[in-house]
């Protein structure tokens, strides 16, 4: 039994340290020699030696290995490899692999993570945040935007154009600001944190995200760049981009919108162009756009496109066009009304519209290249827009919740002192911290030159989901204050609007179940893409060699992941070698443990399910959840160190990490429960959870400490809410909350003195406000102290105030709508 254990330990050690084939052969020979020298049975030694020779000789001999192992494996791989559509192939090739690739290895290089520079703002970018962005945020009034005007003010529109908010990504030579991705992200987050900012941040985000400017910069002709980019930068041209149709949402490759190449009349002359037929919806800025981007399927039935072989067929491919909004036949201007949030959004329709071929972005040379263009640009745009906007909402929700919980009293105590409320405060703050970390790290990746397609999907899904959870917790703490709509309510509109971000750019259900792991498993895995390339290589001999190299490394990768998962699981990660010490060490070690388990589960799921994994979205969604949580922890650790490793922030970091570990174990358990071939799943469970599941949600003490930090002015709040719009004026929610919280803390001793006097019978009035003057008359307070406390209570009363209206004020303008038919619009009889 001891000898069995001995060889088992040797095998695990070899796999754990990922020895190469030569090193493994030497280790096997050495272990056999030790076995016989220490008195092991000679016949067992001979048997094991023969077995080792039979296995290791073919493995070490390239010719034998390729014929006996690699070629059959290659044939099997071809059978189980799922079909990859052309659109999926483009998506796989789009973007770059960044930190997520390290996580897929199962042994991420932590020095690489810690070596990423913390993103910073230039002096020019900081000045823009402190100047024009502050000025813009001061122009928003949420009640006016959402209840009265259904739009931001004309003054705000003018400032956006004047200060070139639409030109943040446009180079300076075209009149843009040419800001970094991080600055772009910080600006959107700050706007979104302001009252009414959800509407405004969407307006600012779209021209700087997936839209004409981004596509023109990368693919436009010089003539198109010179014509449009300067006007886009100054807001003289307002862009939108139409992708989604009633018949194709997330499945953008199935859009039915078409363009047919033909000759036609354009401004009095016969030109080569396209006849367009499209029906788009959910298009932000469409109702006010002056230039419209379109994704459509282009056809060339007569073979009129230059430099194109007729044998290629009439379908050219998805193409992106840019047309003026005053083009005859374009139906534009109507609006959607998404969850009572009036950000400018509406449909685009056109039937039998003729435009010149030069309206294709990039000209005729880029005809049919639209899907690649969109995928490459979307990896960057998705990294910034929605993660930044929804993080801004999360930050303000957490900011307001902590302050309100300090100001609002029940049973003679601030409600933040009650454990149930403290849990909600901690949940809001922890999620805001994690979202801010993800926002910063992902935007920083773009500035480092990455086009992080998988991290951008993680950031979009995580930040939008956490925004919804954070605002829900904020609503729970605000209670009655939160549900009474009116100018005094600063949280309810965000609560109404958070589902919008979840649905945009592909609903999070799709993002989790198909994009994060589905794309990552091939694109980011260290060997799978190499194996697929080898399988599809037209040169059979070269393909065999490449597949052999990738397969050999892949086998080592799986064995190493299994050994590391087992060993680190037995010691809860504590022997993992990490480059840090102190309170964050355990989280780095656990990251190494769960990364190994993730790598093992990923490869095992692909092996056991083969091509069907593509359709087992519940399993791939759980694997995507594990990858996402590993990325979130990476971002949180990076943020903590980038902030200077402040000890005061440790409760927030611990909350994020502990929450992630519990989520990872739950998802891993879900994968193991639903894998086929149950004996294999039982073995995997022993390797992933050798001592069972042990991760737990954050401890009550951590949550109480976070609640304390969020209900007291201090450095932790300053760091966490640095990107929140926090004016000094009382007319803005953040300013009012800040002053009220500060006053309550400053007057805490005075308040206790009055409460004690009331308890002792010195002061008898039951009303808190009337007690103050009674306390002054009884010399419990000086008049100056009484005035301070009265001012404090006035601020409390203003914070807790809710609005009321008469019947006429409750009336909203009666909307009209049209019922769409296939060929016409008619007024609906049941219009509200």
* Nearest Cα to Cα of residue 676 among 607, 608, 597, 599: 608
Q: Are 450 and 360 in contact (CB under 8 A)?
A: no
Measured CA to CA, the distance from residue 724 to residue 394 in angstroms comes to 10
3-state SS, residue 638: helix
Identify the residue whose tokens are 């047919």: 260
* Nearest Cα to Cα of residue 133 among 176, 81, 187: 187
3-state SS, residue 22: helix
Contacts of 399 (CB under 8 A, 6+ apart): 193, 717, 721, 724, 726, 734, 737
* Nearest Cα to Cα of residue 241 among 510, 509, 511, 505: 505
For 724, left (φ over 0), alpha (ψ -120 to 50), or beta? beta
Q: What's the angle, vertex CA 708, arms to CA 705 and CA 710, rounded to 5?
A: 110
Measured CA to CA, the distance from residue 697 to residue 440 in angstroms comes to 25
3-state SS, residue 224: helix
How far CA 768 is from CA of 277, 412, 731, 753, 778, in Å, comes to 68, 11, 25, 13, 15
Q: Long-range pairs for 309-316 at CB < 8 Å and ≥24 separation?
A: 316/261, 316/367, 316/368
Q: Is 25 exposed, middle or buried (0-12, 13-18, 19+ CB in 10 A)?
A: middle
For 307, left (φ over 0), alpha (ψ -120 to 50), or beta? left
How far CA 405 is from CA of 87, 426, 634, 803, in Å, comes to 50, 12, 30, 20
* Nearest Cα to Cα of residue 332 among 352, 351, 349, 353: 349
Distance of CA 435 to the CA centre of its chain: 8
Q: Are 241 and 212 in contact (CB under 8 A)?
A: yes
Q: Are 473 and 421 in contact (CB under 8 A)?
A: no
Q: Are 284 and 346 in contact (CB under 8 A)?
A: no
Measured CA to CA, the distance from residue 416 to residue 426 in angstroms comes to 10
How far CA 87 is from CA of 251, 402, 558, in Å, comes to 10, 46, 30
Q: Which two tokens stand for residue 237?
A: 């041209």
* Nearest Cα to Cα of residue 437 among 635, 183, 721: 635
Query: Among this protein's residues, is 505 annotated catalytic?
Result: yes
Of the candidates 125, 376, 505, 785, the residue annotated as catalytic is: 505
In sequence order, what DSSP letters do the residues of 342-376 get, joined into one string? --SEEEEEEEEEEEEGGGBTT-GGGTT-HHHHHHH
* Nearest Cα to Cα of residue 641 among 126, 103, 102, 110: 110
What secondary structure, in 3-state letters, does 39-80 show?
CCCHHHHHHHHHHHHHHHHHHHCHHHHHHHHHHHHHHHHHHH
Q: Are 607 and 83 in contact (CB under 8 A)?
A: no
Residues marked as catalytic: 505
């Amino acid at each position: 039994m001891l000898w069995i254990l001995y060889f088992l330990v040797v095998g695990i050690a070899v796999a754990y340290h990922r020895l190469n084939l030569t090193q493994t052969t030497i280790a096997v020979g050495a272990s056999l020699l030790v076995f016989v020298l220490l008195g092991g049975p000679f016949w067992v030694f001979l048997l094991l030696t023969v077995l080792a020779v039979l296995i290791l000789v073919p493995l070490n001999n390239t010719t034998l290995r390729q014929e006996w192992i690699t070629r059959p494996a290659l044939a099997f791989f071809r059978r189980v490899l799922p079909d990859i559509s052309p659109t999926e192939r483009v998506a796989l090739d789009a973007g770059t692999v960044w930190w997520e690739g390290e996580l897929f290895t199962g042994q991420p290089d932590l020095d690489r993570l810690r070596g990423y520079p913390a993103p910073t703002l230039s002096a020019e970018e900081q000045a823009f945040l402190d100047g024009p962005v502050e000025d813009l945020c001061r122009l928003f009034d949420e009640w006016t935007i959402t209840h009265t005007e259904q739009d931001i003010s004309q003054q705000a529109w003018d400032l956006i154009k004047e200060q070139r908010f639409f030109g943040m990504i446009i180079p300076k030579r075209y009149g843009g600001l040419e800001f970094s991705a991080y600055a772009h992200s910080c600006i959107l987050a700050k706007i979104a944190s302001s009252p009414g900012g959800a509407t405004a941040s969407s307006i600012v985000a779209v021209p700087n995200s997936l839209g004409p400017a981004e596509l023109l910069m990368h693919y436009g002709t010089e003539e198109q760049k010179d014509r449009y980019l300067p006007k886009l930068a100054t807001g003289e041209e307002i862009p939108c981009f139409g992708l989604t149709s009633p018949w194709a949402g997330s499945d953008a490759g199935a859009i039915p919108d078409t363009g047919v190449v033909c000759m036609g009349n354009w401004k009095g002359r016969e030109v080569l162009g396209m006849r367009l037929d499209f029906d788009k919806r959910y298009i932000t800025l469409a109702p006010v756009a002056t230039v419209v981007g379109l994704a459509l399927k282009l056809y060339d039935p007569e073979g009129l496109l230059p430099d194109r072989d007729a044998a290629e067929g009439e379908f050219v491919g998805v193409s992106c066009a840019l047309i003026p909004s005053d083009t005859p036949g374009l139906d534009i201007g109507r609006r959607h009304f998404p969850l009572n949030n009036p950000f400018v959004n509406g449909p685009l329709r056109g039937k039998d519209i003729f435009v010149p071929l030069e309206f294709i972005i990039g000209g005729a040379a880029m005809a049919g290249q639209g899907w690649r263009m969109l995928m490459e640009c979307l990896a960057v745009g998705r990294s910034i827009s929605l993660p930044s906007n929804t993080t801004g909402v999360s930050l303000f929700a957490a900011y307001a919740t902590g302050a309100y919980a300090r100001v609002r009293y029940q049973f003679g105590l601030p409600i933040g002192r009650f454990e149930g409320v403290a849990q909600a405060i901690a949940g809001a703050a922890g999620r805001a911290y994690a979202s801010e970390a993800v926002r910063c790290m992902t935007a920083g990746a773009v500035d480092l030159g990455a086009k992080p397609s998988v991290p951008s999907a993680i950031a979009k899904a995580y930040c939008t989901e956490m925004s919804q959870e954070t605002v829900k917790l904020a609503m729970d703490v605000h209670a009655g204050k939160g549900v009474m709509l009116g100018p005094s309510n600063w949280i309810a509109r965000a609560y109404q609007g958070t589902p919008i971000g979840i649905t945009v750019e592909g609903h999070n259900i799709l993002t989790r179940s198909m994009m994060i792991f589905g794309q990552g498993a091939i694109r980011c895995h260290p060997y799978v893409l190499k194996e697929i390339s080898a399988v599809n290589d037209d040169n059979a001999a070269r393909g065999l060699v490449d597949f052999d190299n990738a397969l050999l490394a892949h086998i080592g990768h799986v064995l190493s992941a299994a050994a590391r998962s087992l060993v680190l699981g037995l010691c809860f990660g504590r022997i993992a070698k990490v480059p840090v010490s102190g309170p964050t060490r355990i989280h780095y070690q656990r990251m190494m443990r769960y990364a190994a388990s993730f790598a093992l589960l990923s490869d095992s799921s692909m092996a056991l399910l083969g091509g069907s994994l593509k359709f087992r979205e519940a399993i791939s969604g759980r694997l995507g959840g594990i990858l996402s949580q590993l990325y979130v922890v990476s971002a949180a650790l990076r943020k903590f160190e980038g902030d200077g490793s402040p000890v005061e922030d440790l409760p927030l970091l611990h909350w994020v990490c502990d929450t992630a570990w519990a989520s990872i174990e739950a998802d891993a358990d879900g994968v193991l429960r639903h894998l086929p071939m149950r004996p294999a799943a039982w073995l995997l469970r022993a390797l992933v959870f050798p001592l069972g599941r042990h991760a737990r949600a954050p401890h009550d003490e951590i949550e109480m400490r976070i609640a304390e930090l969020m209900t007291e002015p201090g450095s932790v709040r300053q760091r966490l809410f640095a990107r929140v719009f926090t004016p000094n004026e009382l007319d803005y929610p953040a300013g009012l909350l800040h002053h009220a919280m500060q006053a309550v803390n400053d007057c805490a001793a005075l308040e206790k003195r009055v409460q004690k006097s009331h308890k002792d019978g010195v002061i008898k009035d039951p009303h808190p406000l009337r007690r103050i003057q009674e306390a002054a008359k009884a010399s419990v307070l000086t008049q100056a102290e009484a005035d301070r406390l009265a001012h404090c209570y006035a601020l409390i009363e203003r914070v807790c105030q809710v609005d009321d209206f008469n019947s006429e004020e409750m009336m909203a303008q009666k909307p009209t709508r049209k019922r769409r038919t296939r060929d016409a619009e008619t007024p609906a009889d049941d219009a509200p």
